[in-house]
Structure 1
Amino acid sequence: MALPKILVTGATGKTGQAVVDLLLDKGFPVRALVRARDARSAALDRRGVETVIADIFDANQMADALRSVQRAYYLPVFHTHMIQASAAFAIAAREAKLEAVVQMSQWLSQPSHPATMTRQTWLTDQLFAALPDTAHIIVNPGMFADNFLRVFDFAALLGIFPVLTGAGRAAPVSNEDMARVVAALLMKPDRHAGMRYRPTGPELLSGRDMAGIVAKVVEHRLVTLNLPFWMFCKVARQQRIDPLEISGFRYYVEEMKRGTFALDGGVTDVVAELTGRPAESFETTALRYAATPFARQTLGNRMKAFLKFNLTPIYRGYDLDRWDRMKGFPAPSNPTLSIDDADWRAEHSAQNQSPPQPAFAPRAVRA
């Protein structure tokens, strides 16, 4: 019996590419959605992946991309018009009569959050849940380990580990573990229809805890630098990080400080239960970063890191409130962090029960 064909969006990204690899290893035919022909899409072609170029905002092109596909992994596009892309995909998925969609969401997903991307993510959750006769499964991770290891070069080369989140704790999950969870759900979606899963790393860690682990990996002492968010906005602009990402991240930092990612213990067994292997430790993830070219102890890398660090103060940081106003994002009448939202807390606790409860219990949307 032929295995079902699976479409993977974000197939050249950090989780998407790993999902493709895992599915191929199990013999599933994979179609990868890409934005353009480049070296990354060529690498997929060489592995026997069917690559298709499509505009994810265009319902007609998405319908073509989903033709003859039975299952799909949907990674919300990081864009100011994310909800349009989600709507185009939902329309195409309904037309294609997909048997299953595994969707990447987020731990904080709720309709009144001050972060635009979190509100749009929640709307995507609802859109896909309404697909008729489609098994819809949400993967709802907390803080990514990648969020904390983007400054690995400062740690490895300069002995500095910036911390934004104070004493707040989270159980950072690796991109690789998220991909393993997604792949497991795509392979056997019928067992998980209507469910939401919250993969985490194996233990709660503060920024200082992570600094201690990174120091062990790089084999030298680190200075932990409490970085104010206004200075981080300078770093973000220097590194050309999309202001949309930073606009939401400021609230995620506050959520971590307030204990949102540690609520009800903050650690789940989702990775082990779905994949048969325990979640990898933060140290294991950090060791992988230590092997990347940008963290190698070379004179050129040290010079780049030194210049980047010392030039940061002269950069003009993002004015995020002004940027949000310029974009004209709709705003909730009563913006509420997830930790302060009674409905979110109740849903979060239900999802952490064993076995977890279905993803979508009735909920009144407040004006």
Structure 2
Amino acid sequence: MSMPKILVTAAAGKTGSALVAECLQRGWQVRALVRRADVRARDLAAQGAEVVIADLHDEAAMQRAMKGVGRAYWCAPFDPRALEAAEIFAEAAVEARIEAIVGLSQWLASPFHPALATRNAFATDRLFESLGPQIAYTALNPGFFADNYLRLIGFAAQLGVLPSLTGDSRNAPPSNEDIARVAAAVLADPAPHAGRTYRPTGPELLSTVEMAAILTAVLRRKVRKVELPLWLFAKAARMQGVSPFELSGFRHYVEDHRQGAFARGAPNDVVERLTGRPPERFAMIAARYAARPEAQRSAASVLRAWAEFMITPMMPGYDLTRFDRIDGAPLPAGLRHAMSDTGWIATHGATPALGRQVLKGVSQ
């Protein structure tokens, strides 16, 4: 039986672009959904993907994008209205009679989490589960990606510092590529994975001090961890174009990290069991980031990095408390972080099985 065409949303993003590359390498037909025709979209087309420019909130566009597709990958946009987009996506999937959806959810997903994106992830999981048995749904719930640490590779390479917000807490961060490989493994044969939730992790628990030591070896220069206050990080993130909505959730994820939520259930054997190969070690992932232009050292690049570092405290930041009030999202009673949520703890054990069976909205 031939492999049906795969629809990949957020195809220009981190896991989406990695999944497009993985699918094309396997010889599959891929329809790559992107928001705009930019250099990333042109790169996807050059690789052999069928690129479609569409807004996830546009019902007609989503119905067109879903035509002729057999299976799909869902990655929510960084948008307060992400749940509305998921509803449109689900309706289009039902109309197109696709076989399966693999969704990128969140390890922290809960109806009581302070971050709206995380509450939306929980609701989206329940929505997609309700499509069964006609459409098989499998959720991927990684924790903090390796990219969340390595997006700061420029500071490490140029200044010898790894900015940190998470204290001494630890995580087993997966690569974008390993998450994509797990998604591809499920898309290749969705039936055995229907109704399951998988958490891909890296192979080892690491603190940012240990990550800095690894970067020291990879970059061949001393790198040390520097703990930053959140207000300073928020200014730096705004300078890099991070939206207030993304930062509004990120500040809560930092607190979850500090409390140990991402150390639960990690590391595990999900990547190796589903893909047949061990997960990438942090050093291997870091070596790819070290090859990026921003990590190449010169006198000019070091000077630019120092200048950016010095002016960051003087730059404007976001008033995230005000943003939370004006974004219009209702705030349920009893909001709490993961490690204060007994329901979340009960379903996110320290040593989870390969995949949890999702039943009536509860991960077993």
Q: By how many angstroms is 1:109 displaced?
A: 0.4
1:77 maps to which residue?
77
Supply the distance in 2 between the matched residues of 1:193 and 1:107 (Cα, whole angstroms): 18
Seen in structure 2, the aligned counterparts of structure 1 residues 47 and 238 have a Cα distance that, compared at 3 Å, is: closer
Seen in structure 2, the aligned counterparts of structure 1 residues 49 and 337 have a Cα distance that, compared at 3 Å, is: same
SS for the counterpart of 1:52 is strand
Supply the distance in 2 between the matched residues of 1:149 and 1:37 (Cα, whole angstroms): 26
Q: By how many angstroms is 1:95 displaced?
A: 0.9
Q: Deviations over 1:69-90 (max 9, x none)?
A: 1100011111121111111101
Q: Deviations over 1:127-168 (max 9, x none)?
A: 111114111000000111111112211111111221110011
Written as runs of structure 1 = structure 2, the 5 A alignment for 1:77-226 is 77-132=77-132, 133-226=134-227
Contact 2:147–2:176 (CA under 8 A) maintained in structure 1: yes
Q: By how many angstroms is 1:360 displaced?
A: 3.0
2:337 maps to which residue?
337
| Structure 2: stretches of 5+ with no match in the other structure | none
Seen in structure 2, the aligned counterparts of structure 1 residues 214 and 243 have a Cα distance that, compared at 3 Å, is: same
2:34 maps to which residue?
34
1:273 maps to which residue?
273
Seen in structure 2, the aligned counterparts of structure 1 residues 166 and 13 have a Cα distance that, compared at 3 Å, is: same
| Structure 1: stretches of 5+ with no match in the other structure | none
Supply the distance in 2 between the matched residues of 1:357 and 1:46 (Cα, whole angstroms): 38
1:356 maps to which residue?
355
Give the TM-score of the pair, scaled to structure 2. Answer: 0.95
Q: By how many angstroms is 1:6 displaced?
A: 0.8
Q: By how many angstroms is 1:38 displaced?
A: 2.9
Q: Deviations over 1:2-51 (max 9, x none)?
A: 32111111112221111111111212111111223333323333333222
Bigger CA drift: 42-51 or 329-338? 42-51
SS for the counterpart of 1:169 is coil
Supply the distance in 2 between the matched residues of 1:314 and 1:7 (Cα, whole angstroms): 43
2:7 maps to which residue?
7
Supply the distance in 2 between the matched residues of 1:39 and 1:8 (Cα, whole angstroms): 17
Supply the distance in 1 between the matched residues of 2:169 and 2:158 (Cα, whole angstroms): 26
AA matched with 1:321: T
Q: By how many angstroms is 1:355 displaced?
A: 4.7
AA matched with 1:60: A
SS for the counterpart of 1:208 is helix
Supply the RMSD in Å over aligned alpha carbons. 1.7
Counting aligned pairs with the same residue, the percent is 47
SS for the counterpart of 1:162 is strand
Seen in structure 2, the aligned counterparts of structure 1 residues 150 and 95 have a Cα distance that, compared at 3 Å, is: same
AA matched with 2:280: E
Give the TM-score of the pair, scaled to structure 1. Answer: 0.95
